[in-house]
Structure 1
Amino acid sequence: MLSAVANPTPRFSPQDRVAVLLPLPLAGAYDYRVGERPLAVGDFVTVPLGKRELVGVVWGEGRGDVDAGRLRVVGERLDCPPLPEVTRKFVDWVAAYTLAAPGAVLKMAMSVPDALVPPKPLHGVRLAPTMPDLKMTAARRRVLDLAAQLPPLPGADLAREAGVGPAVVKGLVEAGGLEMVEIARPPFFHAPDLGRPAPILSDGQRVAADALVAALDSGFSVQVIDGVTGSGKTEVYFEAVAAALAKGRQVLVLLPEIALSAQWLKRFSARFGVAPAEWHSELSDARRRETWRAVASGEARVVVGARSALFLPYRTLGLVVVDEEHDGAFKQEDGVSYHARDMAVVRARLGGVPVVLASATPSLETLANIQAGRYVRLHLPDRHAGAALPEISAVDLRRFPPPRGMWLSPVLVQAIEETLAAGEQAMLFLNRRGYAPLTLCRACGHRLQCPHCTAWLVEHRLAGRLVCHHCGHAVRPPEKCPQCEAEDSFVACGPGVERIAEEAAHRFPGARVALMASDTVTGPHAAAEFVRQVADHEIDLLIGTQIVAKGYHFPMLTLVGVVDSDLGLEGGDLRAAERTHQLLSQVAGRAGRAERPGRVLLQTYQPDHPVMRALIDGDRDGFIASEAEFRREAGMPPYGRLAALVVSGPDTNALDDFCRRLARAAPHDPALQVLGPAPAPLALLRGRHRRRFLVKAARSANLHAALRQWLSQVPPTGGIRVQVDVDPYSFF
């Protein structure tokens, strides 16, 4: 069953009342009167709103709560494919679940306003039907001879084919030897080549691939590829992609960081002979416009994108894939708060199509759904082509501490030296950007803090800046302390990846060292070049943050060293242990992915922590079972529900007064527990003061109804904003 199969689209005649939803955070759709041209649900139209003219979507029949004489008339219907029914249902569902305004969700589906306007006609030139008397030159003769043999071409293309300048073609047009005609635009995206040879799958991979293919004609289902790092999960779901394409359907693949997925794109092109349509923030405006229209028309057969790709107007979506489904990057915190993995399942259900979740470390939410029988697990326990999983061991920093002023233990240093001497590659991982997380004055202890956020400024020595990682505020390091005015008194405290790279350059002077972080490798092209250098062994020692853990395959990388394995284990986040286990498992999975065996060294002060023991012993299932039991007893997700209310405002007194009124109106329900208000860990963010409420609920509670009723009683005023985050993943 496909999303393209739908009920007949409701149509409206002139003078009918219609509801038009605008891409604004308003309460809902507004009523308008149909003008002279009939309209259908899903049509993009212009409508007046106050003194402005905006583009919205015909959402259905008007509500009738405005007198007919006061209705304003719909303007123009735009010449573009209507918003599909399943997309409209998805917008309504996401808005209801996240307690967001439907228009705010619609804005994500209308993220490229220019795409709603048809592209300008493309003109070419061809031989004139009647040839005038021309002054002939050799260049003109070549152009005319080619024009007689070829279909109409853009003037620049014809000039290039003839080996002449554009002025020659232009002159022939003006002289009447060539005539201008409108021509069809070439496709922006070519159809994948399904005839290319596919890689030979192992028996286990073939069983999983066959299950995915069989699900394509069985309506909605969720299948989870649970495979160790290097088990070939991508090639398995590529089989389902190929089968869906063969049935004439579109495919969406979500990746957590599309701009840094160079190897995935290369593998796709090798498998299907063409590049997929990409959707992420690094695209140019023109490319986004082309891609949006190509998705709406069905020309873009495969879309690979970040979480926002969910809201594109697919014409015949037949398969959804969420790779690295556990990754926290799928959670959107700002604006409409949603988790792309969960919304991908909803989108697939609404369209009646299968969804595939893939990960070496599935989230506890996904594993709980498998245990409940809602999802189907496809297990790949072995690495592809006989490669062995790396040996993981802990380096106890209490027994083998680094020298003073250094951050690499002698044990790890020796392992790197041995690896480099063998002609292999090593990687050092630290999930902390910049040079140092804290800069303080030696004389008075003053710490440099962001003026707009409750956060320390992070030194980025390569850029010569102190940067706030929350709001982007950046300044040059001051020459003297603003507190005590001591000069040259600032000292960097703690390591970031830049500091580790500095130490590595000192300790391994003969090695080619490179740094990979989101602020040093910007955009897909830079990432692709960086990945090529590592794959071609132009780099000996790679140092990076979490972006190096995103599924890369480097055959000569045999050693991974984690500088601070304990980072992320503390801080009051209920998912801290799970996230750390996932991240370190993914990082460890970069080692020994080919013929040469790999090893992983975890520098830690807590070698007996359950996360460290699980990694060392390879006991993922045991760790997950104990983590699940802890969550179950505490009534925490996925065995309970959470919602966060973040209340922010410019004035602390007004903010605290509003929070007291909101607290007094809190729901009284034995199935709900309201905690707060309390200052958020980031009590000041981008200049706004912040307070948090946390609502803990049993799974049987009607959490959404309680939240709607509660918030309706105390509407915010005076610049105060209330952001609701159902199923929060971070607690900053």
Structure 2
Amino acid sequence: MEPAPRTTRLSILLPYKFDMAFTYEAEAPLVPGTLVRVPLGRRTVVGAVWDDPPDQTVKTRPVMEVLAFPPLPESLRKFIDWVGHYTLAPRGDVLALTLKEKLLETPLKRAKTFVFGGADPMRPGPSLSVIQEKAASSLRESVGAETFSVTLLDGVTGSGKTEVYLEAVAEALRRKRQVLVLLPEIALSVQMLARFEARFGVRPAVWHSELTPAQRRETFRAVAQGRADVVVGARSALFLPFADLGLIVVDEEHETSFKQEDGVMYNARDMAVVRAKLCAAPVLLVSATPSLETAENAAQGRYRKLDLPTRHGGAALPRMEALDMRDAPPESGKFLSPLLVVAMRQTLARGEQAMLFLNRRGYAPLTLCRTCGHRLSCPNCSAWLVEHRASPRLSCHHCGYSMQRPLKCPFCEAEGSFVPIGPGVERIAEEVAELFPETETLVMASDVIEGPAQAAEAAAKISAREVGIIIGTQMVAKGWHFPHLTLVGVVDADLGLAGGDLRAGEHTVQMLHQVAGRAGRAEAPGRVLLQSYEPEHPVIQALLSGDLPAFLEQEAAIRRPGHWPPFGRLAALIVSAVDERLADQIARALARAAPRIQGVEVLGPAPAPIALLRGRHRRRLLLKTRRDIAVQPLLRAWLAQVAVPRQVKLDVDVDPISFM
């Protein structure tokens, strides 16, 4: 008899909700990171050979196929392990952020539109000021060192931060290493890609949710094979299998949209620092309004800091003014102060552009019956329905539920009694159309501009001065460069300051400072008018003074004694279930099992601000610790004490940003 063929046991991590790697057998050893096809139950799935030691005791099944694809790099495998450990997410769920089976399909024919690489780092860039060149030189040194470092590039709006960090990109390209530039919103990629092409002669690869399946597959392969030298992408680009990552740039590092709020809950800014460390590469955090966490890290010397304190080319920062709406109220049923309207008329008369900012989509945030006061709300969520006149529908911005406006009130049966309460950007657009009927107006909001193509079209119209007035939500608050825009009016500067959000003041300052920075970026001076019913509020005063470091220090003084971030650590537990009593039962069981040690505090359980979401009742508990106490061991020990039934979903959010 011939001896049975010898086999090798391998650990395979699968992109599903498993934390453990499974043991399979192969006819020959395979290097970690190799992508394989294996049986799982009655299915065949793709997984990756992992670094875990295989289980020598279990019965194994054979690897069915070794895929002709570059192995996942060691730095990426360590990163996936690290993210899983930190967020308490199953490692398989983290792997799924990288590994999608459709990305590995071999195309029958490679289309000529998929061209990657070719950026010319020797192509001359724009002339830099002395301050810009000093910062650029420092960044080139960081890239040249080919070691891990973190640098905060803190520059006022219009100071040329992008041109400066593109010099760091050029240095990485000269060294034949790959670069990742993370942006908080895909709409921002429009002008970024144009700037990149002007600097390096070609456009970079892009990575975001709007790509076609073929674009995603070809980009994924090009990154893994090292053919894509620069990737500009949303937060998920952090999990691409870069062959040799030499620089990560996180643009607008303060943006909350870098936080993934479901599934694997991670902050791409913080995880970018980890990924860079595992790649022995520098990471650059860029902002005109750094987060308190980043500012504190720089103050403590953990991050290096470079400053660009003035606008490039002699442009001045815009003049900020508060319009006290108690002294200059709008007409009845309107939302723009007469003083703001006058300023808009003067701006348009000079041939310049104006922008109105309101961070609220749709026509009105609330529709109620004027007879009985009944408010139209979502049947699936603790939220009012937002009226959209363009559709026309009433929609829930949390679950997507929508309905037509009823002809009569379902509560009192009064007919034609529903009225919109408060403004959204559509209602402001309606008011502007009445005031300026001859002026072309453009609304920029995520439900109007749904992808990079529409954003590019909008930006082209604005740059060509085909538009006189731009009305937008947070989409317009960052990154855009419109040379002829000189007036910004903030319709409701108080929006966002109410409620118990820990970071409400910080986020409002950041957003309004960013949107103000769209004004006066060329020769003509800029002006910003903040409509407020409480202009004496510290946030409004900070914006008027322009002293953001002083505001951050005030915030730090408030948070430091109570060990609130960044001077302590937070983790949220969110319990949700269709059965409200079951949600309450599990939440109370978690509260009884909560850790009780010095330096640790557990708050809750309490109904979440959105207590009903997509038909599930939600309860929250919040773990707060001193900064020197690691929350992950506490959480694991805590969760191990409570049996959670399958009908209940328990989400763990380490370092929460949103408290909804």
**1 CA distance for matches of 2:279 and 2:120?**
26
1:506 equivalent in structure 2: 434
1:478 is displaced (CA, Å) by 1.2
Summarize deviations over 1:232-289 as a string: whole Å, max 9, x none: 0000000010110010000000000023431111111111111110000000000000
Q: Does 2:5 align with 1:25?
A: no
Q: Does 2:130 align with 1:203?
A: yes
Q: Is the 8 A contact 2:247 2:281 kept in 1?
A: yes
The residue identity in structure 1 corresponding to 2:18 is L
The residue identity in structure 1 corresponding to 2:379 is P
Q: Is the 8 A contact 1:387 1:595 kept in 2?
A: yes
Q: Is the 8 A contact 2:377 2:383 kept in 1?
A: yes
1:362 is displaced (CA, Å) by 0.4
The residue identity in structure 1 corresponding to 2:60 is L
1:165 equivalent in structure 2: none
1:116 equivalent in structure 2: 104
Q: Is the 8 A contact 2:188 2:480 kept in 1?
A: no
The residue identity in structure 2 corresponding to 1:643 is A
The residue identity in structure 1 corresponding to 2:659 is F
**2 CA distance for matches of 1:514 and 1:660?**
50
Q: Is the 8 A contact 1:188 1:290 kept in 2?
A: no
What secondary structure sits across from 2:347 in the alignment?
helix
Summarize deviations over 1:465-509 as a string: whole Å, max 9, x none: 111000111111111111122111110000000000000110112
1:54 equivalent in structure 2: 45
**2 CA distance for matches of 1:718 and 1:484?**
40
Q: 1:292 aligns with which of 220, 227, 249?
A: 220
1:187 is displaced (CA, Å) by 6.1
2:652 equivalent in structure 1: 724
1:401 is displaced (CA, Å) by 0.7
1:635 equivalent in structure 2: 563
Q: Is the 8 A contact 1:252 1:320 kept in 2?
A: yes
The residue identity in structure 2 corresponding to 1:64 is D
1:39 equivalent in structure 2: 30
Q: Is the 8 A contact 2:206 2:233 kept in 1?
A: yes
Percent pairwise identity: 59
Q: Is the 8 A contact 1:646 1:693 kept in 2?
A: yes
Q: Which is worse superposed, 489-498 or 661-670?
A: 661-670
**2 CA distance for matches of 1:206 and 1:217?**
16
What secondary structure sits across from 2:640 in the alignment?
helix
Q: Is the 8 A contact 1:80 1:117 kept in 2?
A: no
Given the two structures, how large is their TM-score scaled by the length of structure 2?
Answer: 0.98
**1 CA distance for matches of 2:530 and 2:242?**
44
1:141 equivalent in structure 2: none
1:25 is displaced (CA, Å) by 1.0
**2 CA distance for matches of 1:241 and 1:249?**
9
**2 CA distance for matches of 1:186 and 1:559?**
40
Q: Is the 8 A contact 1:31 1:66 kept in 2?
A: no
1:60 is displaced (CA, Å) by 2.6
Q: Is the 8 A contact 1:32 1:62 kept in 2?
A: no
1:92 equivalent in structure 2: 81
**1 CA distance for matches of 2:611 and 2:335?**
31
2:285 equivalent in structure 1: 357
* Higher alpha-carbon Rg: 1
1:143 equivalent in structure 2: none
1:215 equivalent in structure 2: 142
Summarize deviations over 1:589-610 as a string: whole Å, max 9, x none: 0000000000000000111111
Q: Does 2:420 align with 1:476?
A: no
The residue identity in structure 2 corresponding to 1:47 is V
Q: Is the 8 A contact 1:79 1:116 kept in 2?
A: no
Change (3 A) 1:423 1:61: closer
2:585 equivalent in structure 1: 657
2:420 equivalent in structure 1: 492
What secondary structure sits across from 1:627 in the alignment?
helix
What secondary structure sits across from 2:621 in the alignment?
strand
2:322 equivalent in structure 1: 394
The residue identity in structure 2 corresponding to 1:73 is P
1:115 is displaced (CA, Å) by 2.5
Q: Is the 8 A contact 1:14 1:33 kept in 2?
A: no
The residue identity in structure 2 corresponding to 1:114 is K
Matching of residues 273-672 of structure 1 within 5 Å: 273-672=201-600
Point out where structure 1 has 5 or more consecutive residues left out of the alignment. 1-12, 123-153, 155-184
Summarize deviations over 1:415-449 as a string: whole Å, max 9, x none: 10111111111000000000000001111111111
**1 CA distance for matches of 2:339 and 2:209?**
41
Q: Is the 8 A contact 2:355 2:487 kept in 1?
A: yes
Q: Is the 8 A contact 1:331 1:339 kept in 2?
A: yes
1:186 is displaced (CA, Å) by 8.7
The residue identity in structure 1 corresponding to 2:160 is G
Q: How many residues align?
A: 655
**1 CA distance for matches of 2:21 and 2:451?**
38
2:71 equivalent in structure 1: 82
1:121 is displaced (CA, Å) by 5.8
Point out where structure 2 has 5 or more consecutive residues left out of the alignment. none
**1 CA distance for matches of 2:269 and 2:207?**
16
**2 CA distance for matches of 1:31 and 1:667?**
35
**1 CA distance for matches of 2:500 and 2:566?**
17
Q: Is the 8 A contact 1:563 1:603 kept in 2?
A: yes
1:634 is displaced (CA, Å) by 2.1
Q: Is the 8 A contact 1:223 1:375 kept in 2?
A: yes
**1 CA distance for matches of 2:123 and 2:270?**
33
What secondary structure sits across from 1:261 in the alignment?
helix
Q: Which is worse superposed, 241-250 or 51-60?
A: 51-60
CA RMSD of aligned residues (A): 1.3
Summarize deviations over 1:341-381 as a string: whole Å, max 9, x none: 00000000111100001000000000000011010110000
What secondary structure sits across from 1:39 in the alignment?
coil
